[in-house]
Amino acid sequence: MKPSTILSAVALALPLARAQNETTKTWPEPSPGTFNITNFKFDSGETLNCLELYYQTIGTLKVEEDGSSNAVLLLHGSAVGNSEQFLNEEFAGTLFNPGQVLDTEKYFLVIPDGIGHGESSSPRNTGLHAKFPDYQYSDMIRANHQLLTEHLGIKHTRLVLGVSMGGMHTWMWGEEYPDFSDALMPISSLPSQITAHNRLWRRMFIGLVQGDPAWLEGEYESQPIVGLTGALAVLEIMYEGQVALSRDYPTMEGIDRFYDATFEGVLSEIDHFDANNQIYAWNASYTYDPEARLGEIKVPLTAVNTADDLMNPPQLHILEDAVDNKMQKGLGRAVTIPVNNVTMTTGHRSYINAALWKDELEFLLCKTAPKTVQRRSVAGRMSFGN
Ligand SMILES: *[C@@H]1O[C@H](CO)[C@@H](O)[C@H](O)[C@H]1NC(C)=O
Ligand SMILES: *[C@@H]1O[C@H](CO)[C@@H](O)[C@H](O)[C@H]1NC(C)=O
Ligand SMILES: *[C@@H]1O[C@H](CO)[C@@H](O)[C@H](O)[C@H]1NC(C)=O
Ligand SMILES: CC(=O)N[C@H]1CO[C@H](CO)[C@@H](O)[C@@H]1O
């Protein structure tokens, strides 16, 4: 059985799971970097004197005279996510290699760790704990925009693609910086405020951690284990797909083993899930509400969800309604991948399975390709056919 299904998406972020795959890695080695912003002002009114943004890049940046570029911005998911999340066979091994859709000989990939995530400044690594500024998604995308424009010299990207939280950031990016990207691709997200189950579980997560007396208002020496594991259990429920779980662990012994293995893995690496970092990350979507400004998006956007995603339930038809009725006509495309034995979706965490949506990505890139290139390739194909 694949380690990824044994340990689940929560554990996918564990260094343990990452180390296991170094031997099977086929994609090009990323280069790390850090961009330091002084006096970063948050929407809350708070300021951080030194905000460090860590990022990884793959490929070589090419900027055209008109400012367009071959840059592709990849935005990761919440809390347990960071730039490392993409560096596995399911994602990088399916997209980044020569001839693949995001061939790094052609594109320059920029993969930042958002504020509060990975190696970027966070409640834990700044030592500010629960006194870290209250950051929201709006702050995260503004900081990433500064990273691209001020540090990397990118004024225009070929594509912004994000998964889960990164998907939500992609909708916001299209509204906040409408001229910035040729194409947008949000995966496993909805362009509306977070309500119903998706808000309930986030509140439960934060409540469980803060309700553990060992949390000590954020000043714990070791993780508040009771609250934190309870919270991670709620998260785990939201990540998994019902059909996938029943398919992969059809018996009572099977699902018991899955439970034991998952929580053994989480407990052995509990420090990786820092309580303060988690609280902040899950609360960063508190004010997320891109719905009213969907009409401001100016470029083609393809949104992909899966029908078994408990965080983004297709029954609400939010995605189709946004694309059909709230975006400018003809710009958006909503794809909800059905759940069956061919797609083999795995709930919310399907987003990392690039094989599910790489054809959609290829088509989006083709549709938004610079005109001159398009004309040349059409002509080329015609003469080839003659
Ligand atoms: C950013 O700051 C960190 C330490 O605070 C330092 O190690 C790093 O070199 C700085 N990066 C740049 C590009 O100045
Ligand atoms: C969550 O974010 C909101 C909006 O920024 C803020 O008012 C609230 O205090 C935050 N809650 C927690 C638990 O940090
Ligand atoms: C899917 O596969 C399972 C087991 O492999 C099988 O029992 C089930 O009937 C299949 N479902 C469909 C819709 O083909
Ligand atoms: C933990 C993890 O990501 N495992 C993956 C390592 O690579 C193999 C080979 O492609 C995958 O099958 C695993 O899922």
Does any ligand 3 atom lie closer than 6 A to the CB of residue 341? yes
Angle at 224 between CA 220 and CA 229, to 5 degrees: 155
Q: Give the number of whichever ligand sits closest to the CA of residue 218.
A: 2
Residue 309 burial by Cβ neighbours in a 10 Å radius (0-12, 13-18, 19+): buried
Strand partners, 74: 161
Mean pLDDT, rounded, for 170-199: 97
Task: Examine the pLDDT at 234 and tell me if it is beyond 80.
Answer: yes
Backbone angles phi, psi at 346, to 5 degrees: -130, 45
In a domain, 222, yes or no: no
Ligand 3 centroid to Cα of residue 258, in Å, is: 20
**Among 6-20, 40-54, 364-378, which stretch is predicted with the lowest mean pLDDT?**
6-20
* Residue 19 domain boundaries: 5-197+284-378
Whether the CB-CB separation of 60 and 322 falls below 8 Å is answered with: no
Predicted confidence band of residue 26 (pLDDT cuts 50, 70, 90): confident
pTM of the model: 0.89
In a domain, 342, yes or no: yes
pLDDT value, residue 79? 80
Does any ligand 3 atom lie closer than 6 A to the CB of residue 39? no
In a domain, 138, yes or no: yes
pLDDT value, residue 159? 98
Ligand 4 centroid to Cα of residue 299, in Å, is: 35
Does any ligand 1 atom lie closer than 6 A to the CB of residue 54? no
pLDDT value, residue 9? 43
Mean pLDDT, rounded, for 227-250: 95
Task: Examine the pLDDT at 108 and tell me if it is beyond 60.
Answer: yes
The number of folded domains in the chain is 1
In a domain, 258, yes or no: no
Mean pLDDT taken over the chain? 91
Closest by alpha carbon to 91, among 11, 175, 26, 168?
Answer: 26
In a domain, 355, yes or no: yes
Task: Examine the pLDDT at 8 and tell me if it is beyond 50.
Answer: no
Ligand 2 centroid to Cα of residue 188, in Å, is: 24
pLDDT value, residue 19? 47
In a domain, 220, yes or no: no
Q: What is the CATH number of the domain that holds 167?
A: 3.40.50.1820
Q: Which residue has the least CA distance to atom 12 on ligand 2?
A: 283
